[in-house]
Amino acid sequence: MRNTWDFYSTERIVFGNGAIGQLDSILQRLKAKNILLVTDPGIKNAGIVDRISSLLEQANYETVIYDQVVPEPPVDSAMDCYKFAKSQMDIDAVIGLGGGSSIDMAKIVALLVAHGGHPLDYYGGENQVPGPIAPLVAIPTTAGTGSEVTSVAVLTDVENNLKVGISDNYLRPTVALLDPELTLGLPAYVTACSGIDALSHAIEAYTAKPSAYIQAEGSILFQGSIPISDALAYRAIELIAKNLPLAVQQGSNLEARSNMLMGSLLAGMSFSNAGTAAAHCIGLPNWRACEVAAWRGDRALASICHGI
């Protein structure tokens, strides 16, 4: 039996309506002036990138924007982002703005800024990151992955047709900055899918095998059910169950949006310590089936194939 457990999370969490207004003070505490903003075309088209870049410009930050993140980003795109940023200036801090893919990409680039190499150099088991990554501020615009507080970044190995995850507590962002107002424009379908993602995280963490009975030696990243993860997962399930229908049907309901973002956050804190279950394992080799199903309009099949 395992006699001890650990709990890890993001160093700092800032949450609330209008919280994005604290970005300058956050970056000041990180002593950052040269900023890489990693995001995707949808966030740019929604006007959120302009809002963030305006805040950065007003505070006299030098900012490079990479806005070409795609869902399930390929490994090569992470290298493209890193090389693009390095060609512009020396990066003091990275901001990941968007859903899980943008924040995961930001994690990888922050890793490369600090340690160099190639993303796949850090793949192939837990705890492969040699030390802290570059300062990273994660700003989610969806209530789903919880990537703003997790220890995992997922890319796509196109050559082998697989998702690959880099897993290490050093990958947790320095600051998670959550502003429910940034989620108000999220379409109903994306709200529903990302909400179910967060719910699955919470359920899988809550029903995980107790930590004492995990048969593994030494330090492990995903250690099974522990008291803190159980409490967080239970509250996440409660929040998501009560607020997901409202967030889908009443997209401008700020209270529902706020509760969903909190539920996603708590679920991320929970599962990134306890771990997930078979649904997520199934999702890894079948993500292309999910994309094909979504392209065909078969949303039910897409959700089953994706498994996350």
pLDDT higher than threshold 80 for residue 297: no
- 221 pLDDT tier (thresholds 50, 70, 90): confident
pLDDT, residue 214, reads 87
pLDDT higher than threshold 70 for residue 150: yes
pLDDT higher than threshold 60 for residue 295: no
Could you tell me how many residues make up the chain? 308
Q: What pTM was estimated for this model as a whole?
A: 0.89
pLDDT, residue 50, reads 96
Cα 131 to Cα 71: distance, rounded to the nearest angstrom = 27
- 277 pLDDT tier (thresholds 50, 70, 90): confident
- Domain 188-306 in the same topology as domain 12-183: no
- Residue of 108, 154, 150, 152 lying closest to 133 (CA atoms): 108
Cα 98 to Cα 35: distance, rounded to the nearest angstrom = 16
Calculate what percentage of the chain has a pLDDT beyond 70: 90
pLDDT, residue 278, reads 65
Q: Show me where the domains of the chain are located.
A: 12-183, 188-306
Mean pLDDT of 126-145: 95
Residue range 188-306, CATH number: 1.20.1090.10
Summarised one tens digit per residue, pLDDT across range 31-56 is 999 999 999 999 999 999 999 999 99
Pure H helices in 31-135: 41-45, 48-58, 75-88, 100-115
Mean pLDDT of 123-149: 93
Quick check: 17 and 258 in contact, CB under 8 A?
yes
Cα 213 to Cα 226: distance, rounded to the nearest angstrom = 11
Query: Residue 213, class by beta-carbon neighbours within 10 Å (0-12 exposed, 13-18 middle, 19+ buried)?
Result: exposed
pLDDT, residue 107, reads 97
Please state, as a whole number, how many other Cβ atoms lie within 10 Å of the Cβ of residue 18.
Answer: 9
CATH 3.40.50.1970 fits domain 12-183:
yes
Mean pLDDT score of the chain, rounded to an integer? 89
Mean pLDDT of 12-17: 98
pLDDT, residue 220, reads 86
Calculate what percentage of the chain has a pLDDT beyond 90: 76
